[in-house]
Amino acid sequence: MTASIIDGKAFAANLKEQIARKVSILKENHNLTPGLAVVLVGEDPASQVYVRNKNKSTKAAGMNSYEYLMDDDVSESELIAKVTELNGDPSVHGILVQLPLPKHINEAAVIETISPEKDVDGFHVINSGLLATGGKGMVPCTPLGCIMMLKDKLGSLSGLDAVVVGRSNIVGKPMAQLLLNESCTVTIAHSRTKNLGEVVGRSDIVVAAVGVPELVKGSWIKPGATVIDVGINRIEKDDGKTKLVGDVEFIPASERAGAITPVPGGVGPMTIAVLLQNTVTAACRQLAIDEPE
């Protein structure tokens, strides 16, 4: 079997078009321009790239983008004061504090300061609690993007066996919750899991989000399974150059899977598109406006 490739880039481009259409309706009918504030602490090059892309995509969708750059020796209380100010700013509907934060800052304390209604990352405990109990909160962007692609590919996920490899608060745990909400039978595997190959081998859906290059072997994949690879790892090739690989061995996995996301061009482009969607949703909820279809 040769897997069909799930084109996250095309999927994200389509989603961004729909978001831009919703934004123009909100502007026209409700005089509402959704606004996203992104706070970046320090000068981590990867974070700078993400923030630049978020800024560009937000503006391209017709929304307001506010960027706050803070030195990496900023105090926790100064950062918390900035978040508190943004909580009270009616032109800001979504707040994202780029992670990771410098070691002297307690990430959890900062995240818990963000108003849950403006928490477009869905990282606040109120939002993770709502996700776990079937409530209407903000859902983390990367897992939500994965579910959108899975439902687009498979239709109903009900009754399927799914494994999530990785147990982070940002991807693994909310991903498992979303799959459970779709009535999958869900296993969460991680670095201590015994017989990972066996667990993967009985799964109709494999979501790899463990941050270990090519940990999930192609030979483990159940024939016809759908594989979503969240990993983005830069590795050195034999010739000394570097390349990006996922958490799944792509070529052998694509010979067994029914469908698979590539790296790059799979899950990656979806995250920002879903962030914009979450900002539109947050703005509509804050103003008690029905979100345009």
- Residue from 98, 278, 279, 281 touching ligand GUN (CB under 6 A): that is 98
Residue 22 burial by Cβ neighbours in a 10 Å radius (0-12, 13-18, 19+): buried
Q: What distance in Å separates the CA atoms of residue 55 and residue 253, rounded to the nearest whole number?
A: 35
User: Which range of residues in 10-18, 95-103, 191-199, 214-222 is near ligand GUN by CB under 6 A?
Assistant: 95-103
State which H helix or E strand residue 40 sits in. Answer: strand 35-41
Handedness of CA 42, 107, 54, 280 (dihedral sign): negative
Among 98, 173, 222, 229, the active-site one is 98
| Between 121 and 214, CB nearer to ligand GUN | 121
d(CA 291, CA 83): 26
Residue 164 CB, shortest distance to ligand GUN, in Å, is: 17
Residues 234-273 vs ligand GUN: string with x where CB under 6 A? -------------------------------------x--
Phi/psi zone of residue 64: left (φ > 0), alpha (ψ -120 to 50 degrees), beta? Answer: beta
Write down the least CB distance from residue 47 to ligand GUN, Å: 7
What burial class does residue 123 get, using C-beta atoms within 10 Å of its C-beta: 0-12 exposed, 13-18 middle, 19+ buried? Answer: buried
Task: Tell me if residue 98 is catalytic.
Answer: yes
**How many angstroms separate the CA atoms of 277 and 283, rounded?**
10
Residue position matching structure tokens 């990006």: 244
Annotation says 177 is catalytic: no
Are the C-beta atoms of residues 203 and 222 closer than 8 Å to each other?
yes
Residue of 16, 82, 118, 121 with catalytic role: 121
- The residue within the footprint of ligand GUN, chosen from 63, 92, 114, 141 (CB under 6 A), is 141
The reply to whether 97 sits near ligand GUN by the rule CB under 6 A is yes
Q: Does 207 bind ligand GUN (CB under 6 A)?
A: no
Residue 229 within binding range of ligand GUN, rule CB under 6 A: no
Residue 222 annotated among the catalytic residues of the structure: no
Contact between 232 and ligand GUN by CB under 6 A: the answer reads no
**Facing residues of 66 across strands?**
37
The catalytically annotated residue of 22, 54, 118, 222 is 54
Task: Candidates 69-77, 97-105, 127-135, 205-213: pick the segment binding ligand GUN (CB under 6 A).
Answer: 97-105
Please list the active-site residues. Answer: 54, 98, 121
Q: Name the site residues for ligand GUN (rule: CB under 6 A).
A: 96-99, 121, 141, 271
